[in-house]
């Protein structure tokens, strides 16, 4: 199959997934939901971040879009949707429905590929909440695949991130059954969340810092007798790679344990004089009991 044929097939699969998104509008508008969703996606790729920009982009590219999308006819001429059309749709459109459709498309592409994803909170500065503050979203990224898998609003409170992940964990793993490992920073190293992840028979790798002194102390005790292995910090560049100033890298000690029931590996890093370790699903239960 040629690249163009492959791209065409992928677009068809994606269009089929979008058609499964329920139309939340009370009165079906002059523009099909699939058309508005396609315009939104294309506009976001073109760096359009609000309804006015989407409407302007759609109008400027209407001639190229007519053969592929259905538009409203006014006096015999097809017209692009205005910004109010997009705004009204976004007010009632379900994020969950969109994520379900996208997950279905991604699963078709990845088949049984095992997914490792990182969890982190980010501020969506382009959009504001009802108080005018940036939306704080909990995001799940598959870094290796360069895919954004899912997002949820944590109501403007960063401390809600672990609870938000626990709340939506079943939903996330239902959408992506091949998601096997979750990684994140120290805020996620909390017993209720970690126990929930293990109940779903998934693994995790979360950092533990000195603001959790009891857990950190126990982890140090567990791994105090294991052999230390210094990783290679050298930076290798190919002959044709551009010359760059070498940045100072963090120093790590890799501790490898063969003790039954403990972590396969735990990495402890030193940065700014602070000591931290990574709690994995193999080690953490052994030190928090």
Q: Which residue has the tokens 């979203």?
A: 137
195 domain residue, yes or no: yes
Domain for residue 13, yes or no?
A: no
Task: Tell me what pLDDT residue 234 has.
Answer: 53
Q: What are the strands, taking DSSP E only, across the chain?
A: 72-74, 77-79, 115-128, 134-142, 147-153, 179-184, 203-208, 227-229, 251-256, 265-271, 274-280
Higher local confidence (pLDDT), 143 or 284: 143
Grade residue 116 by pLDDT with cuts at 50, 70 and 90. Answer: very high
Beta bridge partners, 283, equal none
Residue 184 resides in a domain: yes
Q: Residue 287 corresponds to which tokens in the numbers above?
A: 């030190």
Q: Is the pLDDT reported for residue 249 higher than 60?
A: no
pLDDT for the residue numbered 167: 92
Please provide the size of the chain in residues.
289
| 26 and 45 together in one domain | yes
d(CA 267, CA 165): 24
* pLDDT value for 275: 47
Residues 270-275 have a mean pLDDT of 40
Rounded to an integer, the average pLDDT of 213-228 is 81
- The pLDDT of residue 130 is above 80: no
Give 174's Cβ-side CA count (13 Å radius): 9
Q: What's the token pair of residue 139?
A: 């995001």
Q: What is the pTM of this model?
A: 0.70
pLDDT at 81: 92
Nearest to 104 by CA among 176, 182, 24, 10: 176
Say if CB 125 and CB 134 are below 8 A apart. yes
| Overall average pLDDT of the 19-29 stretch | 81
Measured N-to-C along each axis, helices 95-110 and 3-19 cross at an angle, to the nearest 10 degrees, of: 150
pLDDT band for position 179 (cuts 50, 70, 90): very high
* Residues 79, 119 share a domain: no
Tokens of 189: 């190293």
My answer on whether 103 and 196 are in the same domain is: yes
Tell me which residue range forms the domain holding 79: 18-92
Tell me: do 124 and 173 sit in the same domain.
yes
Over the stretch 58-110, which tens digit does the pLDDT of each residue have? 999 998 888 878 888 777 778 899 999 999 999 899 989 999 999 998 998 88
Parallel, antiparallel or unpaired: strands 203-208 and 274-280 = antiparallel
Q: Is 217 inside any structural domain?
A: yes
Q: Is residue 266's pLDDT more than 80? A: no
Q: Look at the chain and report how many structural domains it folds into.
A: 3
Same domain (yes/no): 80, 137: no
88 shares a domain with 153: no
Please indicate, yes or no, whether residues 88 and 102 belong to a single structural domain of this protein: no
- Give the other-Cβ count within 10 Å of 45's Cβ: 9
Q: Give the domain-ending residue among 37, 60, 92.
A: 92
Is residue 252's pLDDT more than 60?
Answer: no
Going by pLDDT thresholds of 50, 70 and 90, the confidence category of residue 280 is low
Look at the alpha carbons of 193, 195, 196, 200 in this order and tell me if their dihedral is positive or negative. Answer: positive
Decide if 236 is inside a domain. no
Domain co-membership, 41 together with 84 = yes
Segment 5-28 mean pLDDT:
79
The token duo for 239 is 């002959």
Interval 251-268 mean pLDDT: 39
Between 155 and 50, the higher pLDDT residue: 50
Question: Same domain for 65 and 166?
Answer: no
The answer to the question of residue 235 being in a domain is no
Q: Is residue 76 part of a domain?
A: yes
Residue 56 has pLDDT above 90, yes or no: yes
Residues 6+ apart with CB under 8 A from 13: 105, 108, 109
What pLDDT is recorded for position 110? 87
């Amino acid at each position: 199959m040629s690249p163009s044929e492959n791209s065409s097939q992928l677009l068809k699969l994606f269009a089929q997934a979008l058609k499964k998104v329920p139309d939340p509008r009370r009165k079906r508008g002059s523009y099909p939901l699939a058309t508005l969703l396609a315009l939104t996606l294309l506009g976001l790729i073109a760096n359009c971040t609000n309804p006015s920009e989407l409407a302007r982009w759609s109008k400027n590219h209407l001639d190229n879009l007519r053969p592929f999308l259905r538009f409203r006819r006014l006096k015999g001429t097809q017209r692009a949707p205005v910004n109010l059309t997009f705004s009204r749709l976004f007010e009632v459109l379900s994020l969950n429905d969109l994520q379900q459709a996208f997950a279905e498309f991604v699963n078709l592409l990845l088949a049984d590929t095992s997914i490792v994803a990182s969890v982190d909170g980010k501020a969506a500065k382009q959009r504001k909440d009802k108080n005018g503050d940036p939306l704080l979203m909990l995001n799940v990224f598959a870094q290796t695949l360069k895919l954004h898998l899912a997002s949820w609003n944590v109501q403007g409170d960063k401390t809600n991130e672990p609870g938000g992940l626990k709340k939506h964990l079943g939903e996330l793993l239902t959408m992506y059954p091949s998601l096997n490992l979750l990684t994140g920073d120290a805020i996620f190293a909390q017993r209720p969340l970690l126990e929930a992840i293990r109940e779903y028979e998934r693994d995790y790798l979360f950092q533990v810092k000195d603001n959790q002194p009891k857990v950190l102390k126990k982890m140090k005790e567990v791994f105090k007798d294991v052999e230390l292995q210094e990783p290679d910090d050298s930076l290798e560049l190919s002959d044709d790679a551009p010359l760059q100033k070498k940045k100072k890298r963090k120093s790590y000690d890799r501790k490898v344990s063969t003790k039954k029931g403990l972590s396969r590996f735990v990495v402890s890093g030193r940065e700014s004089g602070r000591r931290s370790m990574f709690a994995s699903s193999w080690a953490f239960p052994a030190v928090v009991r």
